[in-house]
Amino acid sequence: MIAEWTEWLVNLGVPAAAIAGAVGGFHAWARGEVSAALRALGLGLLGVGVLSNLDTLGGWIIGPAGESTPVRHVEAPSVLPWLLLGVPAALAAVFAVLGLVRLGKRRQGKRRTVREADAAAQARRHAIESDHDEVTDAYGAYLCDILAVLDRPALDDVTVPQTAALLHALDAADDARRGVDLDTYRQAVSNLKTAWRTADEHARKTGTAHLPASDRAAVSKARALFEKALDDRGSEYERQAAHAKARALLGAVLTIPRQAAAAVEHQTRPALAVDATA
């Protein structure tokens, strides 16, 4: 009777213990609990060993008490040796595959993090460059507009502290743009925006008030002549004559930026400009 009970328990318990150890180990491994996974695997193997030797353990526990009773020897199922060898190997293979999967996911996560960081850095650089370009475009538009130069001459005067600070900030931002440190670049552009706003506001507020009265009069006459030179309703001769007079008036008063001079030249002498670009 004991032998039959032992055989029945072995046939059911050995696979159940192996499956329980595998399932428990799998869940623990999936949660990242390596020690718990090994503990479950070990308990499963221990259960397999105990259940596989119940007939021997039963003999130890019951012992030869009283009248000896013939004990029926039950041979273990033929599949049991293969099960004892295959279950640990299968569990080891499963855990190895799971480890590779987890390692692959971890590497994918790192690569994804790097890509996201690169994308964020690129977006940040683009935003900083947009602010940088906004200032340089505004300053470049000023330098190309002769009327703006005559209205705000202090913005092109390097002896004005605000203008000197602006030029220094422009150089610093250009240098930072060629570097890789975004924090340094961001700070340089922030300083540039402040310097531009300060210099432009000062130039607008000052106008030509910082010039001697005679120079202010010359600037006023030259501005009127430049307006006539830029008016495409006049003849080419009249426009060129006005341009020449305006340049003569400003010769000893202001230095016209080369960008503004080129823009006026292009608009007042279109035929020469076309020949030069041909």
Q: Cα(4)–Cα(44) distance, rounded to whole angstroms? A: 23
Q: What is the pTM for the complete model shown? A: 0.58
Q: Which pLDDT value is given to residue 122? A: 87
Task: Return the domain boundaries, the chain.
Answer: 2-62+72-118, 211-278
Q: Per residue in 8-62, pLDDT tens?
A: 555 555 555 555 655 565 556 566 665 665 565 566 555 555 555 555 555 554 4
Query: Can you give the chain as a three-state secondary structure string?
Result: CHHHHHHHHHHHHHHHHHHHHHHHHHHHHHCCCHHHHHHHHHHHHHHHHHHHCHHHHHHHHHCCCCCCCCCCCCCCCCHHHHHHHHHHHHHHHHHHHHHHHHHHHHHHHHHHHHHHHHHHHHHHHHHHHHHHHHHHHHHHHHHHCHHHHHHCHHHHCCCCHHHHHHHHHHHHHHHHHCCCCHHHHHHHHHHHHHHHHHHHHHHHHHCCCCCCHHHHHHHHHHHHHHHHHHCCCCCHHHHHHHHHHHHHHHCCCCCCCHHHHHHHHHHHCHHHHHHHHC
- pLDDT by 10-residue block (mean), the chain, 278 residues: 51 55 58 61 58 53 49 50 57 65 72 76 90 96 95 94 97 94 94 97 94 92 92 86 90 87 81 46
Q: Which pLDDT value is given to residue 109? A: 73
Q: Which pLDDT value is given to residue 76? A: 47
First to last CA, the chain: 114
Q: Which pLDDT value is given to residue 119? A: 80
Residues 6+ apart with CB under 8 A from 142: 148, 149, 152, 155, 156, 200
Q: Which pLDDT value is given to residue 220? A: 93
Q: Which pLDDT value is given to residue 224? A: 94
